Chain A
Amino acid sequence: MHAVVLDHEVDWQGFRRAARLLALRRIPPEHVVWSVRELDDLFGEPVAELPADNSSAEGAFRVPRGLVQLAQTVIQAREPARFSLLYGLIWRVVSGARHLMEQITDPEVDRANRLAKSVRRDTHKMRAFLRFRSVQDEDVVRHIGWFEPQHFIVEANADFFVRRFAGMTWLILTPYRCAHWNGQDLAFTDGARLEDVPKDDRIADYWQVYFASIFNPARLKISAMTSEMPRKYWKNLPEAALIPALIAGSAVRTQKMIEEPTVSPAKPTLRVFRPVDPVPNSPLSQARVAASQCRRCALHGPATQTVFGEGPIDAAIMLVGEQAGDHEDLDGRPFVGPAGQLLDKALAEAGLDRSQLYVTNAVKHFKFELRGKRRIHGKPDISEIDACRWWLDIERAQVAPRMTVLLGATAGRAVLGRAVAVLKERGMPLRLARGMAVQTVHPSYLLRLPENADKAREYKLFVDDLKVAASMAGPISGSSFKQER
């Protein structure tokens, strides 16, 4: 029989060293007796002392990381058998059960996992329910707290309080161990008594008032409270003293609210602060305001907002895209997402300045389908294009561009009123009732090209189309345009 005497309840280093030596000597768990501080169980037979640690000479073995972490938690459990349980697991792993930790329905693994869970819960409850009292000691303010942990968690948990309250001087008292922090160093001493904790200052009364006021008597759910804040913690929580009275008074308070005479609502003052839009002074800005309330098709429902066109009202060139995309829907402006960035680059290469163009979409709400957390772009159908043409026609009539660039088939359909074959008709001048048009692809087509496609060539064709449009539009007035937003 081998005996191991650990220095204290959570002597991790001692446990680790002993377990390693025992396993290397192939001493099975049933031949080891573990105890803390003094040998408390003798079997009569002489107990073998553990030899000095020279494991490097004797060879080493590896224990899975998951088991090490589990052991560091379980060693804190208030359970005398924890050391033999843990050594038993190590023994089995060393003896070949390499995936033991995954066998979570194994009785010993399950037992260790349950102990670990209990320790973690206790650790969490200490972080939650420890209350500091603030005490003025000469020039120093000290914060002193009392907690009665179920397990031996003070040492491992003290770091949490250091990270949180590093700038304070604090002292955590528990029946088995106390932690002291002076702003620099952490020290542990033996356990203390509740009487050692001094009285608090006035903020403690404020906390009680807060607790009573945040409680809603009309939704009493006592079991929901006690499952998370079991009664055993109440005696050290100052606010818990209020609970019986709050519960007792809740029915009467609620009944009173229900029976009390009601008040008629005041006359609504409609949208008090909404900045009153300055009276729109042009048909285009009137249309912009009206379009923000548009319900001409169902697309407005799930979308954020109408994304109206923007740019100078006297622009020589108008760009018409397909529909507002994901980013545009959130931002409220056309062509600001990835396709918009590509468009800006291509425009620059074609010698065009976006700020001098009127940029809009055939469909002004984002059509999408939700798949998980992602909004997948949906293609607008003809009825939606037709419903939205109302706004596009106003934009075209007001801006009256010399050149309209049709980005993609939807734009072609909306402006030309017929199905277009984009790749066949691209780059050719088209005559409109007023002005000219050039059909090209939508920039998102370039973004979606398959990996093996000739992206550079497609991009160049797009820029070429834009150049055709630019040259046909003639000189772009840069002098007197007004920004229409």
Chain B
Amino acid sequence: MELLDKLAILADAAKYDASCASSGTEKRNSLEGGIGSTEGSGICHAYAPDGRCISLLKILMTNACVYDCLYCINRRSSNVQRARFTVAEIVTLTMGFYKRNCIEGLFLSSGIIRSPDYTMEQVVEVARCLREDHGFRGYIHLKTIPDADPALLATAGRYADRLSINVELPSQEGLDAFAPEKDLPGIRRSMGRMRLAIDAAKDKGAPRFAPAGQSTQMIVGADASSDRQILSMSTNLYGNYGLRRVYYSAFSPIPDSSASLPPAAAPLLREHRLYQADWLLRFYGFTDDELATGADGNMPLEMDPKLAWALAHREWFPLDVNTALREELLRVPGMGVRSVDRILVARRHRRLRLDDLARLRLSLPKVSPFVVTADHTPRLIDATCLVAKLPQRRAQQMSLFH
């Protein structure tokens, strides 16, 4: 098979993994030799029409797999065409794309062939070859395999910037139904081991281990898990294993799919709400039990989770932007972490008015119903028509088919 054909198959096979980050690792450059650099923030070198950034060469080593996870295009029972890269081919593509400034590095994953150890060995060998034989200083993200030998994990951590294991579904019951070979306790044990190694590597002189930490992904909408289950799992994973990111991937139709899956468009809006909620958990001081309080355990789709929270907690408002605490301002719909921090700086020097907020690039229609400024007091905070006055986003996601 031509390399070009392999690339088409093995990139297609990798596109359901949402992770794209190339940020947060140690600083490196090639002034002393080798090729490549990492400078803290990631760079998105292109965007596909699905709105996802292309930062890394994201491919599978092979899409052959002995697992039969129903939601996965590469599962054993799928009739998809199979291919496998050699180590040298992956290195050629990575170096070729990197030198053309197309990518920040490589995100390598693989179907499981022969055994977890064998598969992991091959994946680690690619990273070793890039680092040691080609002096590659760019970013490497490796997908790790829970049952693989911990010694292989240690080697992976030496070469990779980031390691990840996808939990895919938030409960063992879900996995039993959809991914019978996947074992949540085994995944947790691996994440625990990785956390210990990542923490230990922060000590001076300790061996290098995945300086950009670990991440995971959950699929949204393949099984019946509610937003509350998903967010509570995220909270647990962030706390237990110090994950840098939990990615949410709206289950999207795949070719040759299983009869047990919803044959429907990807729930992109729900995915978006989960990302918003995830940010509220990590940067805004919200807890998972404050969000997704609907009777069905889901967040409303028609408004962002912070606005939904604010409308249900109107007693908090209005807040005076000139006196409110940072953690209070973080709860105002339409205010981001950066805007809040800018407000805190700006109000040291003058009593802020509405046009100051506009200059801080806040959306007045979104923010003004909830805040008091030197020249403004909202009147509608307890009115039922408040929702109608706010800028609306279409509740239904645009259907492609009707």
Contact = CB atoms under 8 A, between A and B. Distances in A.
A26 B34 CA distance: 52
A375 B256 contact: no
Interface string B45-75: 1111111111001100000001110100001
Which range contains the number of B residues in contact with the other chain? 35 or more
Contact of A211 (B48, B96, B400): B48
A228 B44 contact: yes
Nearest to B261: A262
Interface stretch (B6-14, B122-130, B293-301, B382-390): B6-14
A203 interface: yes
A99 B238 CA distance: 39
B228 to A, nearest CB: 14
Interface string B179-210: 01101011011011101100000000000000
Contacts of B51: 219, 221-225
A80 B188 CA distance: 58
Contacts of A103: 346, 349-350
Nearest to A306: B185
Which range contains the number of A residues in contact with the other chain? 35 or more
B189 A305 contact: yes
A243 B44 CA distance: 17
A113 to B, nearest CB: 10
A251 B401 contact: yes
B394 interface: no
A273 interface: yes
Interface stretch (B99-107, B152-160, B363-371): B99-107
B360 A263 contact: no
Given A128-B44, A219-B50, A258 B259 contact: no
Contacts of B401: 251, 254-255, 258
Contact of B400 (A127, A205, A209, A254): A254
B188 A305 contact: yes
A239 B46 contact: yes
Nearest to A212: B8
Interface in A113-141: 124, 127-134
Nearest to B13: A213
B99 A168 contact: yes
B359 A272 contact: no
Contacts of A224: 47, 50-52
A219 B219 CA distance: 14
Interface stretch (A328-336, A397-405, A477-485): A328-336
A215 interface: yes
Given A105-B359, A263-B79, A305 B255 contact: no
A247 interface: yes
B86 interface: no
Contacts of A251: 400-401
A265 B259 contact: yes
A330 B93 CA distance: 37
Identify whether the interface residues of B are mostly helix, strand, loop, or mixed. loop
A263 B359 contact: no
B183 A260 contact: no
Given A216-B50, A220-B49, A209 B8 contact: yes
Interface stretch (B263-271, B305-313, B323-331): B263-271
A92 to B, nearest CB: 13
Interface string B33-50: 111110100011111111
Contacts of A128: 43-46
Contact of B46 (A145, A160, A223, A229): A229
Highest count of chain B CB atoms <10 Å: which of A127, A128, A220, A264: A128
Contact of A268 (B11, B68, B348): B68
A260 B15 contact: no
A232 to B, nearest CB: 14
Interface in A201-239: 203-207, 209-225, 228-229, 237, 239
A220 B50 contact: yes
A474 interface: no
A239 B360 CA distance: 36
A269 interface: yes
Contacts of A456: none
Contact of A262 (B54, B259, B359): B259
A57 interface: no
Contact of A133 (B58, B100, B193): B100
Contact of B256 (A107, A229, A260, A373): A260
Contact of B183 (A163, A212, A274): A274
B298 to A, nearest CB: 20
Contacts of B30: 163-167
A101 B169 CA distance: 48
Contacts of B115: 273
Contacts of B11: 209-210, 213-214
A259 B352 CA distance: 56
A134 B195 contact: no
B181 A165 contact: no
B48 A215 contact: yes
Contact of B70 (A104, A265, A330): A265
Contact of A221 (B4, B12, B268, B342): B268
6 contacts: A110-B359, A203-B93, A211-B54, A254-B400, A265-B258, A292-B185
Given A104-B360, A211-B46, A216-B50, 10 more contacts: A132-B100, A163-B37, A166-B31, A204-B100, A216-B252, A219-B250, A243-B49, A250-B400, A268-B181, A305-B192
